[in-house]
Amino acid sequence: MALEITFSDKTFENKKRNPEEFSEIALEIRRDIIKSLYLAKSGHSGGTLGTSDIFSVLFFGGVMKYNPNDPEWKERDRFVLSAGHLCPVLYSTLARAGYFSTEELYRLRKYGSRLQGHPGYDMKLPGIESSTGSLGQGVSIAVGMAMSDKLVDKNNRKIFALTGDGEIEEGTVWEAAMAAANYKLDNFCWILDNNDCQIDGRVRDVMSIYPIAQKFEAFGFDVINIDGHNYSEIIKAFEKFKSNHESKIGKPTAIIARTIMGKGVSFMEDNYIWHGNPPNEEQAKIALHDLK
């Protein structure tokens, strides 16, 4: 039977939750990812599924201050998806937060759509804070935002950026790290998706970035290592960042999240060939079955 795709119109509130409450949200996001990538016939399945748990807590656990009815709200915290190729997880998250209708998820990567294959600021999609996709640049932009908030405007906002682990092979990333520590950006939280997979192999085989924690520590970060699929650990890490910010610790925070590429879909898990491939019809059926 042909696969018929529908998106529910369910949205979720942003509020403090118990760890077990996030699995329903993450499941909805993972299902959105499979459906929209199947319809688009292109896109990145692996990292998007792998970071869905982190997005669930970040956007629906009361971690970030934002208002989907007023996306430009002056006091909002900002999130920059430096690993821009992971945008299907961000698009689903923003739709489920109420920034725009879940109907728009049908339009991923379509001509003229606001949901392009990498986030475009010029697309004016509510919730997108910067164009990204050229690896290494988003986190540098995010550090600039944190500098302007802390040093110029002297406000209370927080800035979050998520990079991949292959992404940190880009040299510019380390200039951003150096600047974040130099300017004591305790309003800045760097989330690293450490799935040890990149486009054409294991990160450790292509260009090892290890030991990661020691590198970030040496650069002057408060480093928190977590299992990126354990909701309790994700919540605690963001709480630590919040207390670093409130107590003005004088250091940026790095959350190193060990994740599994393709998490939740049996045949995609921990396999880098799913870095940049969408499921075909048969694969989408199995994936949606796995994600029941």
Ligand X SMILES: Cc1ncc(C[n+]2csc(CCOP(=O)(O)OP(=O)(O)O)c2C)c(N)n1
**What residues line the site for ligand X (CB under 6 A)?**
44, 46-47, 83, 85, 133-135, 164-167, 193, 195, 197-199, 203, 261, 275
Q: Which is nearer to ligand X, 86 or 223 (CB)?
A: 86
Would you say 89 or 100 has its CB closer to ligand X?
A: 89
CB nearer to ligand X: pick between 195 and 253 = 195
**Residue 71 Cβ, how far from ligand X at the closest point, in Å?**
26
Q: Closest Cα to residue 107, out of 116, 99, 98?
A: 116
Minimum CB separation from ligand X for residue 248, in Å? 31
**Of 35, 125, 32, 25, residue with least CA distance to 84:** 125
Residue with nearest beta carbon to ligand X: 164
* CB 176 to ligand X: min, Å: 14
Q: Which of 134, 182 has the CB closer to ligand X? A: 134
Minimal distance, residue 149 CB to ligand X, in Å: 26
Measured CA to CA in angstroms, residue 163 lies from 63, 75, 265 at distances of: 18, 24, 22
From CA 126, how far away is CA 128, in angstroms rounded? 6
In the complex, what is the shortest distance from the CB of residue 213 to ligand X, in angstroms, rounded to a whole number?
A: 17
Sequential DSSP letters for 122-186: GGT-TT--S---STTHHHHHHHHHHHIIIIII-----EEEEEETTGGGSHHHHHHHHHHHHTT-T
| Residue 189 CB partners (closer than 8 Å, separation 6+) | 158, 159, 160, 161, 238, 241, 252, 253, 254, 255
Pick between residue 70 and residue 200 the one whose CB is nearest to ligand X: 200
- Helix-helix angle 281-290:22-40, to 10 degrees: 180
Structure token digits, residue 224: 């928190």
Paired tokens of 118: 């990498």
Whole-angstrom Cα distance, residue 216 to residue 49?
25
Residue whose pair of structure tokens reads 């079955």 in the numeric block = 289
Quote the least distance from Cβ 274 to ligand X, whole Å: 9
Question: Between residues 102 and 189, which has the closer beta carbon with respect to ligand X?
Answer: 189
Considering the complex, what minimum distance in angstroms separates the CB of residue 10 from ligand X? 26
Q: Is 259 left (phi over 0), alpha (psi -120 to 50) or beta?
A: beta
Q: Which is nearer to ligand X, 173 or 186 (CB)?
A: 173
* Cβ at position 82, least distance to ligand X in Å: 9
What does the CA dihedral 197, 203, 205, 210 come to, rounded to 10 degrees?
A: -140
Which residue, 68 or 254, has its beta carbon nearer to ligand X?
A: 254
